[in-house]
Structure 1
Amino acid sequence: MSIAFSKSLSATQTAIPGLIVCDLPVHGDNRGWFKENWHREKMAALGLPDFTPVQNNISFNEKAGTTRGIHAEPWDKFVSVSSGRIFGAWVDLRVGPSFGAVFTAELDSSKAVFIPRGVGNSFQTLEDNTSYVYLVNDHWSAEAQSHYTFLNLADESVAIEWPIPLEEAELSDKDKAHPRMADVCPMAAKQTLVVGADGQLGSALRELYADDAKVEFVGRVDCDLTDDNFYASRNWKGYDTIINAAAFTAVDAAESPDGRTAAWKVNVDAVTKLARVAIENSLTMIHISSDYVFDGTLSEHTEYEQLSPLNVYGQTKAAGDAVVSLIPRHYILRTSWVIGSGNNFVTTMASLAERGISPSVVNDQIGRLTFTQDLAACIQHLVSVTAPYGTYNITNDGDPQSWADIAADVFELVGAGRDCVSGVSTAEYFAGKTSAARPLNSSLDLAKIKAAGFFPAAAKKRLDMYVASLVSSSGMSGRPTTT
């Protein structure tokens, strides 16, 4: 069979998710032929994953009928032939709805196949002296081989129609002994690692992913993100996503010498270590940022505004953003005024109202609350739809309010009067206190996240629901929630 010269480079998705067949341009003359077997820029433009191969292997097969497989490996592969022809057969052996799906194709030097992790790979040579070539994005090791998933070449349920019957083909004893489909343990999907899982957002993510075995949670007691041992002790090839919900958030404490050091250690040094892992292992990293990266002089902040932090905390968050932006697959979620489980501004105001205390609350800082259930749902949405990577603003929706406005809402919701809250300026509130400078306007524009298909609930609605849960659990009087 002669090679088809001068094809156009193209990619075709198959019935197995992620398994892609490529036609390759082969250029020949009287001397022989030449092809670009892998071209990162061109193939990524066609939609192939930029899977960063690290090892190139060649399997030489002397006789037609040599048959190998079916092996599902814990890495991605890009296979082709440099001489001869093969009949390739691929079976999805991953956990999921496509488990057991089969695709077959004949490959010569003008065709290649991208095989995602967990899809079983096998081939049979159709000509003598066939050289089978494959790129992989992890180094082979005996330990890695222990994570293979195997299927018998003769399995009746997938019923692959081998051109040369298996009883006439050349097989290894190991391949003959592989299990039938009924005894195959599917290859588990790569995991998502949530760090900082004990905070407000971490708690919301635990609730959201409570039934998802693919999501692993580590909190402060489980790991130290500033310790190199944490990174060396994990097999990062088993993950595809890191959600960084960890941060040093003590804004005023960050202004002290010790606090400044701690803030930079957690918000920049640890983030740099996470980013290095993400880059080296082609992971997606989701990182939570802050309105404090801005000076608050604009009425509304977009994702494209130049960073201009006023305080040490804001400076460390801005530096962390710059680091994360270097990761090819990243989401930076810029948020403000986060409310979740545990102690926060709303629980404090509700407690004051219950105890009959009338507070003075800042009335010249403007923004929107962000409830962690919406922030967690936004993370899930961006990953599930594979939204374009980059920075997104995410708060709850509705008209911006001052802290004093929100405090008055809380007092009203728990059955106290709005007039129990008095407003003061930021300058008045912090007079005589050691404190960090704060942006006066923290309103974040939500157009980009809405364009990505996520529409956060109104802050007023979420506040009503949140306070209602506090009233229910504490026995406060309260008033009915709005719908």
Structure 2
Amino acid sequence: MTAFGKSLSFTETAIPGLLLAELPVHGDSRGWFKENWQREKMVAAGLPDFAPVQNNISFNDAVGTTRGIHAEPWDKWVSVATGRIFGAWVDLREGETFGAVFTAEIDPSRAVFVPRGVGNAYQTLEADTAYAYLVNDHWSPDAEYSFLNLADETAAIAWPIPLTDVEISAKDLAHPRLAEVTPIPPKKTLVLGANGQLGRALREAFGDGQRFEYAGREELDLADPDLPSARRWRDYDTIVNAAAYTAVDLAETAEGRADAWAGNVAGVAALARVAAENGITLVHVSSDYVFDGTKDGAYSEADAVRPLGVYGQTKAAGDAIVGTVPRHYIIRTSWVIGEGKNFVRTMASLAERGIDPSVVDDQFGRLTFTADIASAIDHLLATRPPYGIYNVTNDGPAQSWAEIAKKVFEGVGSDADRVSGVSTESYFASATGPVAPRPKNSILDLSKLRSTGFSPRQVDEALAEYLAE
């Protein structure tokens, strides 16, 4: 019997993410009315904003019709338009709650949100029952499914009508027992730019488990017009974009300008579209070059961007695009140091070869080691603070490039006085090619990152460890 006059509410169950909903139903002498799906009200009341794309209805003539147990790689909103069912759900996802069971009677005044990977089954308790479900992906033969036998002894579902007395398909009767079920794996994380400095640090942080995929440009080109179909994107929870065009001086040439806009803007736009359309969290790495460096003090995430050169302009444009993705983290960083060619390695090499360098002393900022960027990204994805921009550098006092060079010389056992300071203008005075303008102040405020519970390493400590390695 449909219950009238309920308030909209959601109750958690023994299966994580599986929610039992009580729905307001309004009735009179003519019948009844309900809002079976109302995004704004339901999200405000606690339902995940799961973005359904398809609505299906299964009509069942007889009492006792039994279907399931099927687990698909998408979320479901299950309800009844007419009639009544006994619903049974079994967690078939990898993890500690694999095999957990929840059952409930569902009539038009109740519904259930079924998260991806939870097996779904029902038995009709009234004739002419119309069972409806919204899903947030289109059916695909390439998707990963799992099934459980309705009579599984471990789940031990207390069906109201014995399975020997009801209508069941031969296919459902042949499904495996729980011990033989292949669990639904969690959604995957894809790291782009996997062969670069940050990409290698992310591989070190995340590891090589099945949850993570790594792709260089050869494996996934963002300029490919077939990008929307290059993966079954609904199987991904997160994309970390560590790929970028970073040749700041070359970007000032005609060819470099085109390449910078193609890589940092057009490619990012294509990726952002994929993320937005598939409910993916997009992590995008940005740069201090989006600022002009004239601020007196550290730049916060709220400061307006004012890029000086082409590279900075393309990074600022990319940030604006990523900011339109509902689930995004923009990691704004500076002076990145990792594996491969970089400033610290160059200074250490000069020290060891007996070369005394002149180094710029009027640009100030902090080094950011790729291991610390990777750790910060891992932290944000694990804790899921509010989406938006987060400054990520190592901590400690701001330093000039010349001061850092002196510390590198000291760190490898050389005399720091061998390093001479020079202005940016003097340093590039003899350059034969185009030179991109650099921000004089690249100091980024870390307060917002610290508020999430992450404490960046002190820059001098990180530099010493890097040199020791």
**Given the two structures, how large is their TM-score scaled by the length of structure 2?**
0.97
1:200 aligns to what? 197
Structure 1 residue identity aligned to 2:39: R
2:258 aligns to what? 261
Residue 387 (1) aligns with residue 382 (2): no
CA distance, structure 2, for counterparts of residue 303 and residue 156 of structure 1: 55
C-alpha displacement at 1:165, in angstroms?
1.3
Tell which deviates more after alignment, 71-80 or 162-171.
162-171
Structure 1 residue identity aligned to 2:316: A
Superposed CA RMSD in Å reads: 1.1
Residue 239 (1) aligns with residue 230 (2): no
Count of matched residue pairs: 466
Q: Does structure 1 conserve the Cα–Cα contact (< 8 Å) formed by 2:227 and 2:270?
A: no
Residue 348 (1) aligns with residue 346 (2): yes
1:120 aligns to what? 119
SS at match of 1:408: helix
**Where in structure 2 are the equivalents of 1:50-129 lying within 5 Å?**
50-129=49-128
**Where in structure 2 are the equivalents of 1:141-220 lying within 5 Å?**
141=140, 143-144=141-142, 147-220=144-217
2:425 aligns to what? 427
Structure 1 residue identity aligned to 2:457: A
2:411 aligns to what? 413
CA distance, structure 2, for counterparts of residue 211 and residue 12 of structure 1: 37
CA distance, structure 2, for counterparts of residue 222 and residue 140 of structure 1: 26
Gaps of 5+ in 1: 470-483
CA distance, structure 2, for counterparts of residue 450 and residue 251 of structure 1: 30
Which deviations, in whole Å up to 9, do the C-alpha atoms of 1:378-431 show, x marking residues without a partner?
111111112211111111111111111111110001000111111111111111
CA distance, structure 1, for counterparts of residue 359 and residue 41 of structure 2: 57
CA distance, structure 1, for counterparts of residue 347 and residue 74 of structure 2: 52
CA distance, structure 1, for counterparts of residue 45 and residue 455 of structure 2: 31
SS at match of 1:49: coil
CA distance, structure 2, for counterparts of residue 97 and residue 46 of structure 1: 27
CA distance, structure 1, for counterparts of residue 355 and residue 317 of structure 2: 40
Which deviations, in whole Å up to 9, do the C-alpha atoms of 1:36-77 show, x marking residues without a partner?
111111222223221111111111111111111000012111
CA distance, structure 2, for counterparts of residue 48 and residue 420 of structure 1: 63
C-alpha displacement at 1:222, in angstroms?
2.1
SS at match of 2:226: helix
Displaced runs of 4 or more, over 3 A: none
C-alpha displacement at 1:4, in angstroms?
1.5
CA distance, structure 1, for counterparts of residue 357 and residue 400 of structure 2: 14
CA distance, structure 2, for counterparts of residue 446 and residue 57 of structure 1: 48
Structure 1 residue identity aligned to 2:45: L
CA distance, structure 2, for counterparts of residue 23 and residue 320 of structure 1: 43
CA distance, structure 2, for counterparts of residue 224 and residue 80 of structure 1: 42
CA distance, structure 2, for counterparts of residue 48 and residue 86 of structure 1: 22
Which deviations, in whole Å up to 9, do the C-alpha atoms of 1:357-392 show, x marking residues without a partner?
111111111111111111111111111112211111
Structure 1 residue identity aligned to 2:247: A
SS at match of 1:202: helix
C-alpha displacement at 1:176, in angstroms?
0.6
Tell which deviates more after alignment, 363-372 or 226-235.
226-235
Structure 1 residue identity aligned to 2:269: T
Residue 330 (1) aligns with residue 328 (2): yes
Residue 457 (1) aligns with residue 454 (2): no
C-alpha displacement at 1:336, in angstroms?
0.4
SS at match of 2:168: coil
2:311 aligns to what? 313
C-alpha displacement at 1:230, in angstroms?
4.0
Structure 2 residue identity aligned to 1:10: S
Q: Does structure 1 conserve the Cα–Cα contact (< 8 Å) formed by 2:66 and 2:124?
A: yes
C-alpha displacement at 1:108, in angstroms?
1.0
CA distance, structure 2, for counterparts of residue 173 and residue 467 of structure 1: 66
C-alpha displacement at 1:186, in angstroms?
0.8
Structure 2 residue identity aligned to 1:40: R
C-alpha displacement at 1:239, in angstroms?
1.1
Structure 1 residue identity aligned to 2:116: R
Which deviations, in whole Å up to 9, do the C-alpha atoms of 1:153-173 show, x marking residues without a partner?
000011111111111122111
C-alpha displacement at 1:223, in angstroms?
2.8
SS at match of 2:159: coil
SS at match of 2:455: coil
Q: Does structure 1 conserve the Cα–Cα contact (< 8 Å) formed by 2:360 and 2:400?
A: yes
C-alpha displacement at 1:220, in angstroms?
2.4
C-alpha displacement at 1:432, in angstroms?
3.6
2:42 aligns to what? 43
CA distance, structure 1, for counterparts of residue 378 and residue 108 of structure 2: 41
1:477 aligns to what? none
Gaps of 5+ in 2: none
Residue 442 (1) aligns with residue 442 (2): yes
C-alpha displacement at 1:147, in angstroms?
2.5
C-alpha displacement at 1:82, in angstroms?
1.0
CA distance, structure 2, for counterparts of residue 348 and residue 432 of structure 1: 20
C-alpha displacement at 1:212, in angstroms?
2.3
